[in-house]
Amino acid sequence: MVSQQIPSDGLIGLKQNWRADAVSGFLVFLLALPLSLGIAKASEFPPAMGVLTAMVGGMVVSWFAGSRLTIKGPAAGLITICAGAVVEMGGGAEGWHFALGAIVVAAAIQITFGFLKFGTLSDFFPHSAVHGMLAAIGLIIFSKQIHVLLGIDPATLKGLEPFELYERIPHSIVHADPRVTLVGVVSLVIIFGMPFIKSKWVKKVPAPMVVLGVTIPMALIMDFKHTEPAFDLVKIGDFWGMVGVNADFGMIGTAVFWKYVFMFLFINSLESLLTVKAIDGLDPWKRASNPNKDLVAVGIGNATAAVLGGLPMISEVARSSANVSFGGRTRWANFFHGFFLLLAMLLFIPVIEMIPNTALAALLIAVGYRLASPNEFFKTYKIGSEQLVIFVVTILITLYTDLLLGVGAGILMKLVFHIINGAPLRSLFKARYEYFETENEQHVKVRDSAIFSNLIGYKKLFDQFKPGKKVIINFADARIVDHTFMEALHHLEEQRHQQGNDILTVGFDNFRALSNHPLATRKYDPGMQSKVEIRLTPRQLELRRYAEQQDFNFFPQKARTAAKYKDFPIAKGNQIQYEENILSKFTDTHKIEFSDITLIEGVRQERKENQVTVAFITDTDLPLPDFALEPESLGTRLSDLIHGHDIDFSSAPAFSRKYYLRGFDEDKIRDFFQPDIIAFLETHDAIHIECHKHKLLFYKKMDTLTTGEVAELEQWAVAFVTAAQRMVRVTL
């Protein structure tokens, strides 16, 4: 069960949550070690300097961070900047030292920005331009790492631009080293194949560590150390001898130095702030991070790591998402991840030097693919064709020039679209609205436009909304509301809904959405009266027929559910923003609902969606304790390390073997699970049951159900409630 008590911070939090945070930190360490080595090597830094950055990000930044669940470390999104800085500042060791100087200066400015409360500036950048920048980085990563995977000497590729590297791929394939390529291909099969394995236990194992577990023995069997060139294996050398004061400010008076200062500052801060905001949505306790404090903490980490020789760090999205999934609770999970990396560099450098570079290249190719996958293009197109244009323009300009010009081009293109679609010039950068209050309501009348470039002004207004009062936002006098604003409004509605307060948006009757996406840009169109038309899918038609036969009310529309499933274990580490296809009816003893909920796991490029059909029973008047019951498995046995022990019954060994039962009030749980309830569970198919605040949630599998399976689940759930009611009557 998810504890309703928010985990304490500081040393008290360490005492309370050390077990969960240590386990999560260890699993994140398994993910971080190979990625940190690969990112550093691709960045033209000594490979072990990536591990140094992750160590500092864990063991130093944790003490200052303004976010609880983010993991700090080197990121693939900064590879192109780091490599460019090293090359343009002289290359080799000299370029590395000068690049470190630029990172230190950028970190000092970053700390200043945090103290000046510039953390909200990330809201200014349109999502399509940011995603385009990241996709361009993914394409650049692939253009370089595909040659490494094929066993090509990296020295022969120096100075080549991304398009030149793509042109050279056929040549590299013809001259590939077959044995090195085999190891790389096996690595890719593992990385892209593991997500198709449905086992919960397998999903908990970091794919990068599996890659190392397979490729190191392959390299040993093929004797890479003696039969392959030195560039095919990771080289650490005298790591502890390299750690010291490495930053050099000798180029501080040059334009190239300051070019990279601002590139480090901009991309580093933006990526980190966006990840912090996204991970807050996955926090089981819905804690709000302090972006300004976190910006200061990342700046301290960047300065410390760069002085010692390390890469710049951010709040890294893949490792942070994994931390939530692995059960991390406080900032100490980040600390433990850094601590285990320290142990690795103290004890296992000889093992690390057995890693083939082609395996690290495969890991980076997978990262690049996630950043620039066809799905990213498709998701952007679904939001609107104009968003795809901005996305593609940002990619192309970035590939031809650099990241700053690419993002600038994306922003400019977005502003051009807004002007064409009716945004008045006076509101491009200024939020224009009217605000007034009544006794129970707060009213906002939006004027002219609500778009990315004036969002910061609206965010300041949102922060002033008073709890307990209904908020009504009227867009009737606006001319355009863009996707970035619609997404910010969606997050505001979600946040207020969690707090039990409502936000009502009105005035969109004469607006035309630029796509069918629920958060698409909306443009004022006086000749149009918006109509809501619901086209049912074949499954929805089948559910409607079932509802009519079984006396259910059927609602196919999406409905918000943040408060409904709050603190249920199924929502732990996931977002449940909507439910749809709701079948609902009252009986003499309870209310029962079936619905399809969308579980969102991970964020940004790591985001995955899964629909699950659940049964929800309320209004039973049963004295139910909070508990979670699920079929016993290897994964549930291992989760004892994090979530507490399995409540077993010595008098019912079959039940205890069949189910994993947990909850915080063990006495009340044992009082409820009387012999009749246990006998019922022993003789029926095993399913998942969760109870919170006298409400019951049932589901059979992590998937949607057919109408026949819905009927079976209804029969199962009603029989369980009946058995519980019979037990209560006997007890009384």
The burial of 715, by beta-carbon neighbours within 10 Å (0-12 exposed, 13-18 middle, 19 or more buried), is given as: exposed
Which pLDDT does position 498 carry in this prediction?
66
CB 319 within 8 A of CB 71: yes
Separation CA 88–CA 161 (nearest Å) = 13
Which pLDDT does position 575 carry in this prediction?
79
Residue 481 predicted with pLDDT over 80? yes
Which pLDDT does position 632 carry in this prediction?
81
136-150 residue pLDDT tens: 999 999 999 999 999
Mean pLDDT, the chain, rounded, equals 89
286-341 residue pLDDT tens: 788 899 999 999 999 999 999 999 999 999 988 998 898 888 999 999 999 999 99
The arithmetic mean of pLDDT across residues 564-571, rounded, is: 81
Report the amino acid identity of residue 355. Answer: I
Domains and CATH numbers, the chain: 10-406 (no CATH), 425-524 (3.30.750.24), 538-731 (no CATH)
Alpha carbon 536 to its chain's center: 31
The arithmetic mean of pLDDT across residues 544-549, rounded, is: 93
Cβ neighbours for 685, distance < 8 A, ≥ 6 positions apart: 716
The arithmetic mean of pLDDT across residues 158-167, rounded, is: 90
Separation CA 77–CA 158 (nearest Å) = 20
Cβ neighbours for 602, distance < 8 A, ≥ 6 positions apart: 282, 321, 325, 608
The arithmetic mean of pLDDT across residues 383-406, rounded, is: 91
Pairing mode, if any, of strands 574-586 and 591-601? antiparallel
Between 133-142, 503-512, 532-541, 713-722, the lowest mean confidence (pLDDT) is in 532-541
67-78 residue pLDDT tens: 999 999 999 889
Which pLDDT does position 732 carry in this prediction?
47
416-444 residue pLDDT tens: 999 999 999 999 999 999 999 988 889 99
Between 163-177, 263-277, 572-586, 700-714, the lowest mean confidence (pLDDT) is in 572-586
263-301 residue pLDDT tens: 999 999 999 998 888 888 788 887 888 999 999 999 999
CB 444 within 8 A of CB 462: no
Q: What does residue 442 show for φ and ψ, rounded to 5 degrees?
A: -120, 130
Residue 643 predicted with pLDDT over 80? no
Which pLDDT does position 73 carry in this prediction?
95
Q: For residue 584, name the pLDDT band (cuts at 50, 70, 90).
A: very high
655-687 residue pLDDT tens: 988 888 988 888 999 999 989 899 999 998 889
Give the torsion sign (CA, 481, 485, 487, 489): negative
Which pLDDT does position 118 carry in this prediction?
87
Residue 250 predicted with pLDDT over 90? yes
